[in-house]
């Protein structure tokens, strides 16, 4: 009965919502797509489908049904040239990246551009202005606002929410199942462990045949976990990788999670950073779909929100089945096994030395129950040097007692590997015997890992310490956090509540030497929560970041450090660089960043705020306040920031008609030029002015491909002409280029 009920629930939740419309395919360029609905874009979901146009522009774009032109937009960025139709059924059809509009739309665009004296427009029309019928041409495919030619096509419902166009009668031929590449298992609780570790772990998936995928081994977990997969869909004969249409996860044949990309509201589009795993992408592991709810208080429209997907499994083995499917219901199935139980890593409780031998006491109880041990002498990185021979194993009520012959010089680090009774998954512990010369030469390199629900401190020592202890110091107390040994020189703190880190102003690492050696480091962490505002400041008070309410998805430990100086091409740093951590966690909305610039700066207008991203400095639109000598901006992504002076003006090249040239009238239909700025960039079309023979003209600006063009309404008269182009970047550097050319009669 349980399985029947599960099938009924699954069918009702995952039935594709087919709408009754009979829409026309929006272009004759092709019936292939390069992107589908719900795919990841930086900071938002893809709200439509991208139709291939064979790497060309100029294919006609059709009204998919009867209605009227409701909105027309022109922009250097985003959708470029776009048309919005209100259809008679109440839905809205959106066409983006057009090369040009149909003639019946052009008068409205030209009139508004003339009125605003600029290229960018956003025009709303009445129902009686431009009526259209199914199949009417409304424009032509292009690449405005985009890197490559294609048609971006959306369908929105009467309230403006985009829904999957493939849920209408529009279809794409596809007979290929999705591909599943990797599985990630996420620790989402303080007690969570994956194969004995506290980190996210990623497992390779292999194809087994007959549409089925699997893993090589059982995954051993304890505590609460989340499962994620790296997957994509393909279409035979095409190189593109698409997001799947839906994913469902079963545990022991019980449905535990569903996602299906049907519809969303634009107010929900930032949830893309918790629907996909932002952290794994930032760590260059790949793009993973979460099969668990990051925050159950946030309703993500693609999910069945009654099933969170977070797994806290009973002790024992569990069968996991994940089905991934495209819109044509081509389905790939991944099956693997998880064993849930308490962490059974060996715990070395003590070591006793006697004449000619030593004994190691391993904890023994219902969890720490082993059927065998392997012992080796290893170097400080855990690499085997030679076998450590056990002369005898004794068993008491509380311990396994391993007896060894006394170690020789050079045998300083013992690795004890235990084979648990409930599996063959080996766990290890380390015991360091010597610390000669260690007191005066100790050093440690700390680093931090901010997982979705846990915060960890990694420590790498230059020499293997003996049983180091870790303490967080606050105004109220000194709290010890147990350490987990990953190798003789590498340790990590056990997960503890975020509040422990927020209250602390320093941590100490204590080494049991004589006298006790203490390594101390001051810290300035803040715990940001969605329900209240907070600020974080650099140690020198130059940088302040203000987090308002709901700027984070969930609790976030953040801090600021000075960053390494990075070369600036075409400009210069005017202050130190700062890095706001953790860069692997996303922001839900904008935070305010303010930096103080050094006193007595000339040409403050040339100074801007930049973020280092994708191996280049990216300008952030900011405001300057002379009275406070500060520059402030709204940012939506953490990382490395710097105040930079841009003193290099834009570059204007590839002018057509070129300076000194002679051209036939019929060969000059467009005026064109490339306009680029390497640092602060060109803000928009208002930063560009063009005159032909002294008369100002409004040119198209393609901000992504860095060019301008102007279609001549009629051929230029024969004779001499002068084209003047002036461009200003966002640091107020100005460039002017002049082209004088001669037009000849065609006769």
Q: Which residues pair with 740 in a beta bridge?
A: 722
Number of neighbours of residue 700 by Cβ within 10 angstroms: 22
* pTM for this entry: 0.91
Q: How would you class 654 by CB atoms within 10 Å of its CB: exposed for 0-12, middle for 13-18, buried for 19 or more?
A: exposed
How far is residue 657's CA from residue 405's CA, in Å, rounded to a whole number?
90
- Measure CA 514 to chain center: 48
* CA–CA dist 507, 358 (Å, integer): 34
Whole-number Cα distances in Å, 85 to 45, 57, 93, 154, 496: 21, 21, 5, 10, 54
Q: In this model, does residue 365 exceed pLDDT 50?
A: yes
Q: Which domain covers residue 375, as residue numbers?
A: 348-432
Kindly tell me the burial class for residue 105, based on how many C-beta atoms sit within 10 Å of its own C-beta (0-12, 13-18, 19 or more): buried
Residue 172 maps to a domain: no
> Which burial class, exposed, middle or buried, applies to 2 when counting CB atoms under 10 A from its CB (0-12, 13-18, 19+)?
exposed
Q: Name the phi and psi angles at 83, rounded to 5.
A: -125, 135
Point out the domain boundary residue: 468, 499, 523.
523
User: What's the rounded Cα separation, in Å, for the pair 493 and 483?
Assistant: 5
For position 366, what pLDDT does the model report? 86
Q: Could you give the count of Cα atoms lying within 13 Å of 427 in the half-sphere of its Cβ?
A: 26
Find the CATH number of the domain harbouring 729.
2.60.40.1220
Domain boundary among 502, 523, 544: 523
Q: How confident is the model at residue 619 (pLDDT cuts 50, 70, 90)?
A: very high
pLDDT score recorded for residue 497: 84
- Both 406 and 450 in a single domain? no
Contacts of residue 104, Cβ cutoff 8 Å, sequence gap at least 6: 130
- Same domain for 227 and 357, yes or no, is no
Rounded Cα–Cα distance for residues 672 and 711 (Å):
9
pLDDT at 409: 76
Report the alpha-carbon distance of residue 51 to residue 74 in Å, rounded. 20
pLDDT digits (tens, 9 = 90+) for 487-525: 999 999 999 888 889 889 999 999 887 778 889 999 999
CATH number at residue 133: 2.70.70.10
- pLDDT for 723-733, tens place per residue? 999 999 999 99
Task: Kindly state whether residue 5 falls inside one of the protein's structural domains.
Answer: no
Predicted local confidence at residue 113, as pLDDT: 97
Pairing outcome for strands 179-187 and 225-232? antiparallel
Looking at the domain assignment, is residue 392 inside a domain? Answer: yes
* Range 263-292 average pLDDT: 95
Supply the pLDDT for residue 19. 57
Are 198 and 314 in the same domain? yes
H/E element, 111: helix 106-116
Burial class (CB in 10 A: 0-12, 13-18, 19+), 150: buried
Same domain, 283 and 313: yes
631 Cβ neighbours under 8 A, 6+ residues apart:
594, 595, 597, 607, 608, 609, 622, 623, 624, 625, 643
Read off φ and ψ for residue 215, nearest 5 degrees: -110, 160
pLDDT of residue 375: 95
Same domain, 203 and 334: yes
The CA distance from 178 to 331, in Å, is: 7
Read off the pLDDT band of 14 (50, 70, 90): low
State how far the Cα of 276 lies from the Cα of 462, in Å rounded to an integer: 37
**Residue pLDDT, tens place only, 624-662:** 998 889 999 999 999 999 999 999 999 999 999 999 999
Please name which of 256, 259, 270, 198 lies closest in space to residue 453, comparing C-alpha atoms. 198
Question: Residue 14: inside a domain, yes or no?
Answer: no
What mean pLDDT comes out for the span 248-253? Answer: 97
The reply to whether 552 and 640 lie within a common domain is: yes
Q: Report yes or no on 21 lying in a domain.
A: no
Yes or no: say if 97 and 35 are a contact pair by the CB < 8 Å rule: no
Q: What is the CATH number of the domain that holds 380?
A: 2.60.40
Listed residues 523, 539, 558: the one ending a domain: 523
DSSP string, 560-612: EEEE-----TTEEESS-EEEEEPTTS--SS-EEEEEEPPSS-S-GGGEEEEEE
The C-alpha atoms of residue 85 and residue 98 are separated, in whole angstroms, by: 14
195 membership: H or E segment, kind and range: none
Low-confidence winner among 109-118, 258-267, 363-372, 542-551 (lowest mean pLDDT): 363-372
Measuring CA to CA, how many Å separate 681 from each of 621, 647, 691, 739?
10, 12, 22, 23
Instruction: Name the percent of the chain in helix, strand, coil, to the closest 5.
Output: 10, 45, 45
**For residues 228 and 424, which has the higher predicted lDDT (pLDDT)?**
228
Yes or no: say if 6 and 14 are a contact pair by the CB < 8 Å rule: no
- Do 334 and 189 share a structural domain? yes
Within 13 Å, how many C-alpha atoms sit on residue 286's CB side?
A: 17
Q: pLDDT per residue over 163-203, tens digit each?
A: 999 999 999 999 999 999 999 999 998 899 999 899 999 99
Strand residues in 597-731 grouped as ranges (E): 607-613, 616-620, 622-625, 630-635, 640-646, 651-656, 662-664, 670-676, 688-692, 695-697, 700-702, 707-711, 719-728
464 has a pLDDT exceeding 90: no
Tell me the HSE value of 599 on the side-chain side, using a 13 A CA sphere. Answer: 0
pLDDT at 16: 60
**240 and 276 part of one domain:** yes
Residue 122 shares a structural domain with residue 195: no
Q: Running DSSP on this structure, what letter comes out for residue 30?
A: -
Structure tokens at 1: 């009965």
Using the predicted structure, report yes or no on whether residue 405 has a pLDDT greater than 90: no
Q: What's the CATH number where 559 sits?
A: 2.60.220.30
Separation between Cα atoms, residue 248 and residue 304, nearest integer Å: 10
**CA separation for the pair 573, 645 (Å, rounded):** 6
| 706 lies in some domain | yes
Q: What is the DSSP letter of 685?
A: G
Residues 243, 248, 252, 256, Cα dihedral to 10°? 120
Number of domains in the chain: 6
pLDDT at 433: 82
Helix (H) or strand (E) holding 219: strand 219-222
The rounded Cα 462 to chain-centroid distance in angstroms is 34
Q: Are residues 327 and 366 in the same domain?
A: no
| 539-544 contact pairs (CB < 8 A, 24+) | 540/576, 541/596, 542/575, 542/576, 542/578, 542/595, 542/596, 543/578, 543/580, 543/593, 543/594, 543/595, 543/596, 543/641, 544/593, 544/594, 544/595
Residues 323 and 391 in one domain: no
**What is the spatial distance between Cα 210 and Cα 623, in angstroms, rounded to a whole number?**
59
Q: Considering the domain boundaries, does residue 22 fall inside one?
A: no
Q: Is residue 4 part of a domain?
A: no
Say if residue 611 is in the same domain as residue 499.
no
Can you give the pLDDT at residue 437?
Answer: 39
With H, G, I as helix, E, B as strand and everything else as coil, classify residue 686: helix
pLDDT band for 5, please (50, 70, 90 cuts): very low
Least confident of 260-269, 416-425, 610-619: 416-425
Model confidence at 348, pLDDT cuts 50, 70, 90, reads very high
DSSP string, 119-142: S-EEEE--TTT-EE-TT-EEEEEB
């Amino acid at each position: 009965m349980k399985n029947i009920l599960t099938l009924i629930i699954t069918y009702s939740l995952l039935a594709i919502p087919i709408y009754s419309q009979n829409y026309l395919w929006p272009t004759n360029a092709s019936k292939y797509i390069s992107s589908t609905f719900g795919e990841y874009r930086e900071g938002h979901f893809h709200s439509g489908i991208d139709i291939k146009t064979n790497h060309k522009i100029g294919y006609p774009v059709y009204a998919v049904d009867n209605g009227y032109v409701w909105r027309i937009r022109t922009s250097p960025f985003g959708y470029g040239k776009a048309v919005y139709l209100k259809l008679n059924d109440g839905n809205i059809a959106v066409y983006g990246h057009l090369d040009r509009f149909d003639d019946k739309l052009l008068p409205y665009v030209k009139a508004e551009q003339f009125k605003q004296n600029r290229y960018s427009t956003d025009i709303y029309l009445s129902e009686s202005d431009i009526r259209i019928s199914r199949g009417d041409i409304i424009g032509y495919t292009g690449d405005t606002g985009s890197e490559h030619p294609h048609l971006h096509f959306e369908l929105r419902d009467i309230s403006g929410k985009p829904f999957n166009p493939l849920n209408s009668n529009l279809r794409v031929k596809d007979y290929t199942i999705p591909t599943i590449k990797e599985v990630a298992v996420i620790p989402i609780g303080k007690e969570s462990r994956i194969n004995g570790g506290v980190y996210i772990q990623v497992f390779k998936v292999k194809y087994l045949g007959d549409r089925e995928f699997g893993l090589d081994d059982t995954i051993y977990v304890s505590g609460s976990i989340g499962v994620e997969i790296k997957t994509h869909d393909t279409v035979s004969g095409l190189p593109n990788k698409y997001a799947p249409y839906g994913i469902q996860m079963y545990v022991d044949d019980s449905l535990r999670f569903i996602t299906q990309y049907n519809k969303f509201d634009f107010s929900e589009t930032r949830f893309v950073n918790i629907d996909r795993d932002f952290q794994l992408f930032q760590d260059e592991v790949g793009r993973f779909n979460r099969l668990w709810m990051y925050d159950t208080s946030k309703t993500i429209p693609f999910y069945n929100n009654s099933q969170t997907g977070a797994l806290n499994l009973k002790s024992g083995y569990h069968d996991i089945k994940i089905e991934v499917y495209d819109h044509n219901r081509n389905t790939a199935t991944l099956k693997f096994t998880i064993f849930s139980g308490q962490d059974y890593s060996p715990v070395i409780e003590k070591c006793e030395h006697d004449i000619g031998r030593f004994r190691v006491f391993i904890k023994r109880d219902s969890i720490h129950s082993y059927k065998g041990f392997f012992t080796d002498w290893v170097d400080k990185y855990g690499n085997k040097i030679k076998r450590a021979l056990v002369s005898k194993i004794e068993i008491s009520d509380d311990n396994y007692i391993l007896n060894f012959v006394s170690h020789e010089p050079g045998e300083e680090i013992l690795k004890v590997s235990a084979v648990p009774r409930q599996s063959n998954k080996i766990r290890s512990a380390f015991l360091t015997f010597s610390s000669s010369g260690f007191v005066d030469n100790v050093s440690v390199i700390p680093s931090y890992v901010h997982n979705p629900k846990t915060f960890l401190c990694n420590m790498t020592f230059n020499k293997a310490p003996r049983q180091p202890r870790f303490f967080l110091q606050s105004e109220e107390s000194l709290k010890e956090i147990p350490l987990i040994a990953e190798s003789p020189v590498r340790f990590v703190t056990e997960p503890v509540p975020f509040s422990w880190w927020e209250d602390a102003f320093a941590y100490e690492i204590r080494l049991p030497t004589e006298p006790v050696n203490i390594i101390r480091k001051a810290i300035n962490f803040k715990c940001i929560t969605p329900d209240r505002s907070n600020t974080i400041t650099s140690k020198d008070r130059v940088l302040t970041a203000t987090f308002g309410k709901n700027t984070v998805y969930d609790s976030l430990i953040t801090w600021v450090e000075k960053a390494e100086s990075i070369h600036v091409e075409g400009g210069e740093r005017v202050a130190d660089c700062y890095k706001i951590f953790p860069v692997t966690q996303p922001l839900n909305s904008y935070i305010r960043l303010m930096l103080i610039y050094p006193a007595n700066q000339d040409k403050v207008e040339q100074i801007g705020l930049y973020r280092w991203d994708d191996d280049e400095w990216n300008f952030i639109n900011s405001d300057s306040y002379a009275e406070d000598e500060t520059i402030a901006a709204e940012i939506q992504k953490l990382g490395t920031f710097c105040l930079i002076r841009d003193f290099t003006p834009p570059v204007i090249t590839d002018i057509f008609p070129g300076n000194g040239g002679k051209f036939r009238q019929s060969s000059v239909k467009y005026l064109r030029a490339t306009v680029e700025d390497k640092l602060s960039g060109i803000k928009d079309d208002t930063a560009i002015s063009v005159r032909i023979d002294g008369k100002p003209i409004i040119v198209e600006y393609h901000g992504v491909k860095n060019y301008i063009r102007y279609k001549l309404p009629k051929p230029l008269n024969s004779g001499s002409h002068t084209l003047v182009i002036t461009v200003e970047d966002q640091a107020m550097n100005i460039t002017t280029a002049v082209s004088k050319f001669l037009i000849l009669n065609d006769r």
